[in-house]
Structure 1
């Protein structure tokens, strides 16, 4: 039980801390509401599922050893994050129009699939907090399941928290500025992360 609580708490702290994905979820919830943000949330969770499987299978460790693959993944992630930030900044005040600017399930999937923070967080959790269950294969499967369940809860909280700001985002006076603020915050969080990893 102690091991399970540690796994749950660390997963919540690492996956729920402000980063590109949580801020994107809050921005989508605020701009478009929970219902229209659900496809984005599902895409994010599906992308994270692939990351968890890769981490449990040891593929993440192999990727991190290849500088070319790691750098390519990093570049694509930063580029796609910029694209999602642009969509949030430019999402329509009246979300019934121009739905092409609302982040989709595909956007969420690609964003988390290429999210370096997700790989780092999941690898750290799996390497240090795998449940003490025999056989190891069962322990890894259950650990991965707990991580995904925690991610589902914390990501949904970010989406709902963002939707609480929806009335402000619907405002003709503040809506556009708030969308740009959320998009800029995503970029700033990534820039701080990149700068921190280089120093």
Structure 2
């Protein structure tokens, strides 16, 4: 049995705004592309891919719910996210302006950094739980239903995150003034911190 077109479109209609809206990981990807360029930002993007896929699998299997139910796990995850995002924001804010990189510049955040950002992204766990629980594609087969949603959400994740990296790199490519470029990097770092605050502060 296969999912109906209407059920797939309903999942996509819910997934794109939730997964594509600016949260800590999205802002980090965009800022990384803007500060260091698309090519240099690819290792970070691939790390994001690996981390987000891991979170998707953990959420689909129910492991995420079990872990977050343990006393103290939630606050530790939030603290780890905040501390690492502070470090990442610093790296972005102090990066050379777009188009002004030299051979002695520090290396941009890489694959491992992307994984850490994904695994400590509090928003992702909430979003994926809502997407899995709020959509049923194959009622008669829960396992195939879960695997189908995992495949669809993985495709959405690949497209959305890659698009934000390209957007950041292309947008920064139009900046020619070192002063404006520096201000742009600092602005992206501030937006990253704001996105983290919005994700972790209860509302």
| TM-score (normalised: structure 2) | 0.90
1:6 aligns with 2:10: yes
Task: State the partner residue of 1:154.
Answer: 160
Q: Which stretch shows the higher mean deviation, 97-106 or 62-71? A: 97-106
Three-state SS of the structure 2 residue aligned to 1:56 is helix
The aligned residue for residue 122 of structure 1 is 128
Report if the CA contact (8 A) 2:32-2:41 is conserved. yes
Change (3 A) 1:99 1:143: farther
Q: Give the equivalent residue in structure 2 for 1:89.
A: 93
Deviates further, 131-140 or 32-41: 131-140
2:24–2:199 CA contact under 8 A, matched in 1:
no
Task: Go from structure 1 to structure 2 and tell me whether the alpha carbon gap of 1:51 and 1:8 turns closer, same or farther (over 3 Å shift).
Answer: same
Deviations along 1:107-161, one digit per CA (max 9) or x if unpaired, are: 1111001110011111111111142254221211111111111011111111111
> Which runs of 5 or more structure 1 residues have no equivalent in the other structure?
none
2:173 alignment partner, SS class: helix
- Give the corresponding residue for 2:170: 164
Q: Is the 8 A contact 1:10 1:125 kept in 2?
A: yes
Task: Say if 2:184 is the partner of 1:178.
Answer: yes
**Is 1:193 aligned to residue 199 of structure 2?**
yes
Residue 66 of structure 1 pairs with residue 70 of structure 2: yes
Contact 1:11 1:151 (C-alpha < 8 Å) held by counterparts:
no
- TM-score using structure 1 length: 0.92
In the TM superposition, what is the alpha-carbon distance from 1:90 to its structure 2 partner? 1.4
Q: Is the 8 A contact 1:90 1:101 kept in 2?
A: no
Extract unaligned runs of 5+ from structure 2: none
Count of aligned pairs between the two proteins: 197
Q: Distance in 1 between matches of 2:135 and 2:178?
A: 47
Instruction: Select the residue among 17, 25, 28 that pairs with 2:29.
Output: 25
Q: Deviations along 1:22-59, whole A, 9 cap, x unmatched?
A: 11111111122211111111110100011011001101
Which residue pairs with 1:113 in the alignment? Answer: 119
